[in-house]
């Protein structure tokens, strides 16, 4: 069967690999329909090792299918009670090996989805599920000022969900000019600036009640999120940390009575189902969100585009 693997930084190669062996209890075998390119996939694509769970050893980046984890596929074999042959499902490729013809995944990280969505839109339910779970960990957003640092594919989802959940004001901060598309994602105030410059110009009465750090892969932006939050506010760090330790100002945390939260997505099947329901209630979201679609033979081009700060690019899908 076909698969793609990294043979060097920034370089995919198509290869033939054996079909997966017998499934174990709880596993599901999928026929690839679509994959989403996530920001957490980009460091290993660039050649950085050990930044995502699937990249555990020196040879992980060379394994077929790596580093894709956002996957939509049709079930062709199942040893999980919730998934039957023929189902279209979306979720996590548990081995971060989703860029191949047949993918083995844990059934608890998958949920059925509406075939009417189409594969490219269906795979977008995975990041939406992650955002919805993160928002569950926050105070109720109705009536609050929410700022989202980073207006990439995850940050814009946070902006949209915050607006849908009744935020009084949504501020989107990014050095890339997102003004042409921000309105589609509920952003009231577009700030084209780095997070440190934005914080340096914040008036005391303009500090957000909730600050979401949706950049990831760097240290400084979390400190800026802490500095920006209003007294009594909440900071949520979303994404994959590239360092084990992130220095923040505990003096600021203490004196401003702040709450700092983070975490991975749990209850994945429930959240994927919630994402499907959210998408049904907001039919404008996924068409605006998935801006670029590539065939599997164009995986290289898809990742090349994902590495560039293009103002009108949001989510990239790779489809069979």
2-126+266-319 architecture in CATH? Alpha-Beta Complex (3.90)
pLDDT at 240: 81
Measured distance CA(123)–CA(294) in Å, rounded: 13
pLDDT digit string, tens, across residues 203-218: 999 999 999 999 988 8
At residue 56, what are phi and psi to the nearest 5 degrees?
Answer: -90, -30
Contact 224, 196 (CB under 8 A): yes
Contact 65, 13 (CB under 8 A): no
This model's pTM is above 0.85 = yes
pLDDT at 243: 83
Say what angle helices 125-136 and 268-281 make with each other, to 10 degrees.
Answer: 100
Residue from 264, 248, 14, 275 nearest 129 by CA: 275
CATH H-level, domain 138-261: superfamily: NAD(P)-binding Rossmann-like Domain (3.40.50.720)
Strands (E), the chain: 2-8, 11-16, 27-36, 70-78, 88-92, 102-106, 110-112, 145-149, 169-174, 189-192, 210-213, 234-237, 259-261, 290-295, 315-319
User: How many residues does this entry show for the chain?
Assistant: 320
| pLDDT > 60? residue 59 | no
Residue from 320, 279, 318 nearest 129 by CA: 279
pLDDT digit string, tens, across residues 155-185: 999 999 999 999 999 999 999 999 999 999 9
pLDDT digit string, tens, across residues 242-291: 888 999 999 999 999 999 999 999 999 999 999 999 999 999 999 999 99
Angstrom distances, CA of residue 118 to CA of 19, 73, 103, 295 = 25, 11, 19, 14
| pLDDT > 60? residue 9 | yes
| pLDDT > 80? residue 53 | no
Say what angle helices 125-136 and 153-164 make with each other, to 10 degrees.
Answer: 60
| pLDDT > 70? residue 57 | no
How many other C-beta atoms are found inside a 10 Å radius of the C-beta of residue 182? 21
More confident residue, 169 or 56: 169
What is the average pLDDT score of the chain?
A: 94
Each domain of the chain, given as residue ranges in start order, spans: 2-126+266-319, 138-261
Helical spans, DSSP H, in the chain = 42-46, 119-123, 125-136, 153-164, 195-200, 220-228, 250-255, 268-281, 285-289, 299-306
Residue 259 pairs in a beta bridge with: 234
């Amino acid at each position: 069967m076909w698969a793609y693997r990294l043979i060097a930084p920034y370089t995919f190669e198509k290869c033939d690999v054996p079909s997966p062996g017998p499934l174990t209890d709880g596993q599901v075998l999928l026929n690839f329909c679509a994959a989403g390119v996530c920001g957490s996939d980009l460091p290993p694509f660039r050649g950085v090792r050990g930044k995502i769970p699937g990249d555990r050893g020196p040879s992980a980046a060379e394994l077929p299918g790596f580093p894709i984890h956002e996957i939509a596929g049709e079930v062709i074999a199942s040893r999980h009670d919730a998934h039957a042959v023929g189902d279209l499902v979306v979720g996590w490729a548990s081995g971060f090996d989703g860029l191949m013809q047949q993918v083995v995944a844990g059934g608890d990280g998958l949920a059925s989805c509406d075939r009417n969505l189409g594969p490219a839109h269906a795979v977008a339910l995975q990041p939406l599920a992650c955002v919805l779970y993160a928002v569950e960990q926050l105070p109720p957003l109705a009536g609050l000022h929410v700022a989202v640092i980073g207006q990439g594919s995850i940050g814009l989802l946070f902006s949209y969900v915050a607006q849908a959940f009744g935020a009084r004001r949504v501020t989107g901060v990014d050095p890339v000019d997102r003004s042409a598309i921000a309105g589609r994602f509920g952003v009231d105030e577009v700030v084209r600036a780095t997070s440190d410059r934005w914080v340096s110009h914040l008036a005391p009465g303009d500090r957000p009640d909730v600050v979401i750090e949706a950049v990831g892969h760097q240290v400084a932006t979390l400190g800026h999120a802490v500095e920006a939050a209003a007294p009594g506010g909440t900071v949520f760090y979303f994404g994959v940390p590239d360092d084990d330790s992130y220095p923040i100002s505990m003096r600021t945390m203490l004196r401003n009575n702040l709450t700092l939260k983070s975490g991975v997505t749990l209850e994945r099947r429930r959240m994927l189902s919630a994402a499907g329901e959210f998408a049904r209630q907001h039919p404008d979201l996924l068409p605006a969100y998935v801006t670029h679609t590539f065939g599997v033979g164009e995986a290289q081009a898809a990742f090349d585009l994902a590495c560039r700060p293009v103002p009108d690019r949001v989510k990239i899908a790779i489809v069979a």
